[in-house]
Structure 1
Amino acid sequence: MRAQDEAAIVACIPSLRRYARGLVSDPARADDLVQDTLERAWSRFSLWQRRGEIRAWMFGIMHNQFIDGVRARRSRPEDSAGDDVPEIAQRATQSDRIEVRDLDRVLQRLPADQREILLLVAVQQMSYLEAAAVVGVPIGTVMSRLARARERLRHELQGRAAPEAMPLRRIK
């Protein structure tokens, strides 16, 4: 591995940490996700085909690690039973802190597929094409997930219930 490639990987770490914290909300689990992503990137660097930006490749690895973790927790429900422990109320010191906490809670209520697209496009400032490559879906899917995530986020932050999706009906 060239020094230039190593520097490019290291430069991705702050963005990876932001994305991981948005995905899992828990700082310790987010750091574990970043660590797992970096380990996989280092060990499989020879598989990177240099067809795109290394940043998108790293986010793709993190996306896959996150999805693998979600699937693993679903298959072991006894391990995830303690995840819903209520938070102890803290006295607010700043209104900004309350708003950030509220935003984080609302983000965590979004479906994972919408949350990750929202984080990639809005926080990491990836283009729709880059986000589509990271997640492995068509660009139209990125656009629709982003629109649904923004709409739901807007409703939740305004204190209104998000409109539920209308069930599809078959018309003959």
Structure 2
Amino acid sequence: MAADTPMKDQMLAAIPHLRAFAISLCGSVDRADDLVQGALLKGLSNLDKFQPGTSMQAWLFTILRNDFLTQARRRKREVEDPEGAWAERVAVMPEQGARLDFNDMLKALSHLPFDQREALLLVTAEGLTYEDAARICGTNIGTIKSRINRARRRLAELMNFEADDDLGPDRLVKAALFMHIAV
């Protein structure tokens, strides 16, 4: 987006990306919407701290990520369902193969360490550059590349992929798992 685009317009343009990132992080549409709303409110109230010429989307991603991490620290005392036993009892299994593959990928993503999942999603699902992902995560580009590489390998193991041919025709699954596989 052009640097001369009004900041509030840049914020509006970032909403779909923020929402997709938030859903990927927390796995709940309702929680994701709350995260996005919180990030936008903080962004608006701190708009004077935004540095013109930098990426509004990356700035808002950083706010959202920090809010997510703060909430995660608060939730450590809550009862978790890491194996999904409770969720499996209340979920309705989808009938379409691509949807099943996508659900398998989401489940595998949830087993990745947070830093690997975050880096992978920022670069592959959100299409951010390694540089922007490194800024959001507060690390360097080499670390981001390493996290993405480890995440892709671990996803392949978790999903029992042995070759590119194992990936189904669903382009979303392909993109999320192995976009730019030769990092």
Q: How do residues 4-153 of structure 1 correspond to structure 2 at under 5 angstroms?
A: 4-74=6-76, 77=77, 80-81=78-79, 83-84=81-82, 85-88=86-89, 89-153=91-155
The higher relative CO (CA closer than 8 Å, separation ≥ 6) is in 1
TM-score by length of 1: 0.83
Q: Distance in 1 between matches of 2:94 and 2:44?
A: 41
SS of corresponding position for 1:12: helix
TM-score by length of 2: 0.79
- 5+ long unaligned stretches in structure 2: 163-183
Q: Distance in 2 between matches of 1:111 and 1:132?
A: 17
Q: Distance in 2 between matches of 1:136 and 1:3?
A: 26
Aligned residues: 155
SS of corresponding position for 1:81: coil
Q: Distance in 2 between matches of 1:114 and 1:43?
A: 31
* Structure 1 outlier segments of 4+, above 6 Å: none
SS of corresponding position for 1:73: helix
Deviates more, 1:7-16 or 1:47-56: 47-56
- 5+ long unaligned stretches in structure 1: 161-172
Identity, % of aligned positions: 36
Deviations 1:134-166 (A, max 9, x none): 111111111111111111011111179xxxxxx
Deviations 1:80-117 (A, max 9, x none): 21545332352432111111111111111111111110
Kindly name which structure, 1 or 2, has the bigger radius of gyration based on alpha carbons: 1
